[in-house]
Amino acid sequence: MNKHILIFGLFILALMFSGCKGSKPGGGFNLFTTQQDAELGLQVKNEIESNPSQFPILSESKNKEAYNIIRAMTNEILNSGNIHHRKDFAWEVKIIDDDKTLNAFCTPGGYIYVYTGLIKYLDKEDQLAGVMGHEIAHADQRHSTRQMTKMYGISVLLSALAGNQEQLATITAGLINLKFSRGHETEADNYSVHYLSRTRFNCAGAAGFFEKIQSQGGGSPPQFLSTHPNPANRVENIRAKAAEKGCRMNDISNQSRYQKLKNLL
Judged by the rule CB under 5 A, the positions of this chain that interact with Zn ion are 188, 228
Count CB atoms within 10 A of the CB of residue 21: 10
Q: How far is the CB of 155 from Zn ion (least distance, A)?
A: 28
Residue with smaller CB distance to Zn ion, 114 or 188: 188
- Gap between the Cα atoms of 178 and 10, Å rounded: 14
Q: How far is the CB of 139 from Zn ion (least distance, A)?
A: 11
Residue with smaller CB distance to Zn ion, 157 or 189: 189
Residue with smaller CB distance to Zn ion, 136 or 247: 136
Residue with smaller CB distance to Zn ion, 188 or 242: 188
Q: How far is the CB of 60 from Zn ion (least distance, A)?
A: 26
Residue with smaller CB distance to Zn ion, 15 or 184: 184
Q: Which long-range contacts (CB under 8 A, 24 or more apart) does 230-233 make?
A: 231/182, 231/185, 231/186
Q: How far is the CB of 206 from Zn ion (least distance, A)?
A: 10
Q: How far is the CB of 117 from Zn ion (least distance, A)?
A: 17
Q: Which long-range contacts (CB under 8 A, 24 or more apart) does 104-107 make?
A: 104/131, 104/132, 104/135, 104/224, 105/135, 105/227, 106/135, 106/136, 106/138, 106/139, 107/7, 107/40, 107/41, 107/44, 107/45, 107/48, 107/139, 107/144
User: Angle 81-149-151 (CA atoms, 0-180°, nearest 5)?
Assistant: 120
Chain residue whose CB lies nearest Zn ion? 228
